[in-house]
Amino acid sequence: MIKLFPPIVKEFLAALGKGYTYAIRKNHYVVFGILWGLPIPVVTISMGIYFNHLPVSLGNIIAHILSYPIHLLFLLHPLLFGIVFGAMGTVREEKENARLAFENSLLLANEELKGVNKKLQELDELKDNFLSIVSHELLTPLTTIQGYITFLKEDKAKSLIEEHVEELGIIEDEADHLKNLIEELMDLSKIEAGKFEVKPVPADMRDVVKKVKMIFEPSLKTNRIILEDRLPASIPLVLADANRITQVFSNLLNNAIKFTPSGGRVRLSALVADEKITFCVEDTGIGIPKDKINRIFDKFYQVDSTTRRRFGGSGLGLAITKSIIELHKGRIWVESAEGAGSSFCFELPRYRGAHHAARGQVETGSGAMQCL
């Protein structure tokens, strides 16, 4: 039967069996209840004395009570009210103690969280410093190695046999790959430190795309992938850092080639709007699972995160690409379905001549935009 009662009733009934309910010195609700119920017997007895025209005396009061036993019930009201209010005081005290305990646990958890957060910040700073130091320390000897590779490839004395030339080519490719990785780590270090810069100027994206196509022409031929250039013959100028946008196109095109099977297609396109121009890199590759699209721009994230991944890469390219586009006040997104290819699109602001110059958005030598 008790199970059918509301929670507050259950709490009240439980309080009736607890000592605090009757502790008049500790539970002030008991006193309040007694005082609240006291007027009932006083008024009823006083009215009886008055209507019976009896003088007010202790004897007459006792005699009147004995003559009318119902007054005994009225006399119990202060006690009953004291118990009821005492039980209410017990419920309130328990809730207040529970609230204080919860607040204390929150404060304790908050302090622990602050400590953990401080340690994470320290570790993050150490990681950033480590990335910066290691990247610079690796780049110096790598530059020397690449210099010797170039010297040996020239082979003015014609002392290298054909097999050695091929092996030297492999070494050069791996050195270039390592250099790209180091540069990505350096970019990430700058982004994390808020020192990554773009220098937007009026730029022709046809020139950028032409440069990127030349860079990836050997890779496209090797992988037998067709590149379709669907960009308009004439594109309005955009306000952008051409070198950084070259990096964006390179990252997107490199991914498209990497994840597109031999014989597939990669398409470059652009859509001109009033204020912005949207550029897209589409492929007929393996696509991205739906549950992984939201994390595709996270740093170090790999769609295939197993230890025996089929595709290389550091997982930094798209994260850096996103930072570059956001520094240009643009946005980047992806549309993809597993097995149906992917389409990466980003927006850049159109250059409006005097309008941008008036707003101070054209780079003049000292107006670089930083990643904050």
pLDDT value at residue 293? 86
Whole-angstrom distance, CA of residue 52 vs CA of residue 341: 102
Q: Please report, for residues 68, 193, 353, 363, the alpha-carbon distance to residue 357 in angstroms, rounded to integers and kept in the order given.
A: 101, 29, 6, 9
The topology under which CATH files domain 197-370 is: Heat Shock Protein 90 (3.30.565)
Question: Look-up: residue for tokens 């964006």?
Answer: 248
Q: What is the pLDDT of residues 335-365, one digit of tens each?
A: 998 888 999 999 999 988 755 544 444 443 4
Question: In the predicted model, is pLDDT for residue 223 greater than 70?
Answer: yes
Residues 73-81 have a mean pLDDT of 89
pLDDT value at residue 207? 92
CA-based Rg of the chain, rounded to a whole angstrom? 40
For Cα atoms 304, 308, 311, give the angle at the middle one, nearest 5 degrees. Answer: 55
Whole-angstrom distance, CA of residue 370 vs CA of residue 224: 39
Q: Collapsing DSSP states into helix, strand and coil, what is residue 251?
A: helix
Orientation angle between helical segments 162-193 and 317-327, nearest 10 degrees: 50
Q: Are 246 and 199 in contact (CB under 8 A)?
A: no
* Token pair for 325: 């586009």
Mean pLDDT of the chain: 82
pLDDT value at residue 322? 92
Q: Are 260 and 283 in contact (CB under 8 A)?
A: yes
Residue 309 backbone dihedrals phi, psi, to 5 degrees:
-70, 145
Half-sphere exposure in the Cβ direction for 367 (13 Å, CA)? 14
- Tell me what percent of the residues of the chain surpass a pLDDT of 70: 86
Q: What is the pLDDT of residues 82-96, one digit of tens each?
A: 999 999 999 999 999
Q: Are 251 and 231 in contact (CB under 8 A)?
A: no
The 8-class DSSP code of residue 372 comes to -
Q: Is 351 left (phi over 0), alpha (psi -120 to 50) or beta?
A: beta
Q: Check residues 191 and 236 and name the one with the higher pLDDT.
A: 236
Q: What is the pLDDT of residues 101-148, one digit of tens each?
A: 999 999 999 999 998 988 888 877 777 677 667 766 776 777 777 787
Where are the chain's structural domains? 1-195, 197-370
